[in-house]
Structure formats: C-alpha cells, structure tokens
Structure 1
C-alpha cells in the first residue's frame, strides 16, 4: 500500500521543492518508499524499541513534541496499520494526550541506538482508558492507539554515534567536504538529484 505523492506533500513542501530543485526526487521517494503500513522489518523495530518521540498539535495548531519511553516491548503493534503507545504516570498535565483528543493527527519518530535508521510514522491517534486497553499495557494510565497513515524511513547520515561518542562525518563544518551518502549513488536516482550544492562523484 503506497501513497500518492500529491497527497503526501502539501503546497508548502512543493513550493520549496520547486525552488530548490528537488520536486522530481521528492516525488520518486514518496511513490517508491512511503507506505500506508508498517513493513515486517519495521514492525520488528517498533516492537523492540524502548522509546519514541511523539508530536501532536493543540486545537490552535501549535505543535508539541514529547518523549515516551519504556522497556523494549512496551509498544504494541496489533497489525501493520496500528500501533499503541502506553502513557505512564507523569506530572498530570496530559498535554500530549489532550492534544491527541482535540486534534488526532500525530507524528512519531523512532531512533534505534543499534541501527543506523530513522523511522517516521504519521497517523491519527485515539486515547483509550478502558480496562481491556489498559490491561494490555501494564502500568499504563491511558493508551494512545495510532491508526497509521504514512510510514517512511529518513536518510540516517546525520545520526551521531552516541556509543562511540562521535559525530556524524556527514555534518557540514568549515573547510570540510562531507562524503556523499551511499543512497545518492544508486542508479535509481540518476537525473533526479539537484545539481546545486551537490558534490561531483
């Protein structure tokens, strides 16, 4: 189940793509790599994750991002188009869950310390407090069930190696030419990459 590029990008994104010469590249990525469900590999990643970054918006459209953590396995994936995030005891503000109740669109970012990967999931959230939902998540006060709309990986080149204490070699800095990421050298991107600011092969 793939998504249509014109529904994935709004006019603000398209305007910048045209200005910076990436419209064809962005269309290719959306049509080939953005899906409406989690792939089997992604399901394994999410089920083994110990954290997720969760973005919501309030009724006025103001964004907020929160960190949700737990032991590996705390996130449930009932099926490839649904995932569940437990909400544990906290400070009682319920800004994230309150936002999801008022404006259900949510965005998730997964980082995996053992994997050079970033996974983004967009969907619509539903806040659950019934006994059956809570029983599936020990210690939860509420559960955010996300109906998935879009799933895609991001280029991991700017991820730092926290274990080694080193920063990504791809980060720009004075008097330094970062290496070109391997994905840009694949034949499928020939003719799609912008030439402005791109390093020669």
Structure 2
C-alpha cells in the first residue's frame, strides 16, 4: 500500500512528544552558535521553482560559516565547478535547508530559512583572508533550527575507524566518470585529482 496522506503516516507513527516536539527554535543560542563555530562541514538543500531538488556539500575550516546574529549566518560560496545548482535554486525560491556536522559528534544541527546570494563588501570581507576569496556569499535568515538526535550516525557508525573502507578497493572518481561518460581517455588518478583540487582550496 502506498502512503498518500499525513493521516495515514500518523496512524503508523503517531505524533512527536516531549523534547522531539518542543526542541524547535527560531533563533540561535549559545549551544547552536557553538555547534556552527566548530563545524567544518554542512549539507545545503535547495529546490527550484519547479520543485526539483538539490543537496550540496560545503566545507571549510571550523567556523567557515559566520554567525552574524541570532537569526543570520553567512556561508561563503567557495570555488567549485560552476554548475551553480544551489545558487540558481536560491535565486529562484529564496529558501534553504542546512545540516551541520562535526567529526566525532553523532548529533547534527538542522537549520531552515530564507536565503539570498550577496556580493556586499560587508559579507565578502568576512572571507578576505581566504586563499581563494568567494565571489558571493549565501546569507541565511533563520526561521527554524533544532539539534537532531544521534541515531542515524550511531546506526551508520560514520565516525568509527573500523567502519572505514580501504579507499584503494573503491573506484577512483576518474574511473567512475570515465565509465559514466564513456570517455576514451586514461582516467585521472586520485593523486592527480587531489593535486588539481588543492589549487582551489
């Protein structure tokens, strides 16, 4: 049976209660600010006007996302591949969802809000010391945020050293792209790709 309504879902799952029901906030406080300041990685979710979705990883040294106030944060758009999927979606809908991670911490921080792409000096200057300063910044006005429980990370053992695979047993990015795109060139090695990427960090 396909589930088609919220009432069908509620029949199966019921409703949140206790902390799960009440933990949503509308602004940052000391613990969520601290979480952002210690986070080197986030996943940014966006959609366009047609409802087509995108999820994009973003990373930097801890604190690469700047907290401006209790309801505003700034994310630098670091040099990438110029697909601009997230940026185009934000221009179209002005909405964003963020998931912040800290290595070794199983809890995550979720933020939903309004977003805009900015070139104002007051925002770009926050990242002027970067090797490759961003051309734009993503300014997020927070509407909802909450800490997410550890269950998914406990199940996945994401930070467990014993759960890591031997990278040599997995195809390189160059090999996967060659197979997907049907190219005839020799696949780029991991070493060559890392060397090329480092120029953009």
Give the TM-score normalised by the residue count of structure 2: 0.70
Q: Which residue of 2 aligns with 1:88?
A: 78
SS where residue 64 of structure 2 aligns? coil
**Change in CA separation of 1:20 and 1:48 when aligned onto 2, cut-off 3 Å:** same
Q: Which residue of 2 aligns with 1:38?
A: 28
Runs of 5+ consecutive residues of structure 2 not aligned to the other structure:
165-201
Identify which of 141, 144, 147 aligns with 1:147. Answer: 141
Distance 2:61 2:125 in 1: 16
Runs of 5+ consecutive residues of structure 1 not aligned to the other structure:
1-11, 168-201
Identify which of 94, 106, 124 aligns with 2:114. Answer: 124
RMSD: 2.0
Counting matched residue pairs gives 154
Deviation at 1:13, TM superposition (A): 7.8
Distance 2:160 2:17 in 1: 35
SS where residue 72 of structure 1 aligns? coil
Moved over 4 A (4+): 27-31
Deviation at 1:132, TM superposition (A): 2.4
Query: Once structures 1 and 2 are overlaid, which stretch shifts more, 152-161 or 44-53?
Result: 152-161
Deviation at 1:16, TM superposition (A): 4.7
SS where residue 165 of structure 1 aligns? helix
Deviation at 1:30, TM superposition (A): 5.6
Distance 2:141 2:80 in 1: 24
Give the TM-score normalised by the residue count of structure 1: 0.70
Distance 1:66 1:76 in 2: 18
Q: Are 1:108 and 2:86 matched, yes or no? A: no
- Give runs of aligned pairs for residues 1-201 of structure 1, distance below 5 A: 14-23=6-15, 26=16, 28-29=18-19, 31-138=21-128, 139-159=133-153, 160-166=157-163
Deviation at 1:128, TM superposition (A): 0.4
1:16-36 CA distance string (max 9 Å, x none): 54221322xx25446421111
Distance 1:107 1:145 in 2: 12
Q: Would you tell me which structure has more helix in proportion to its own residues?
A: 2
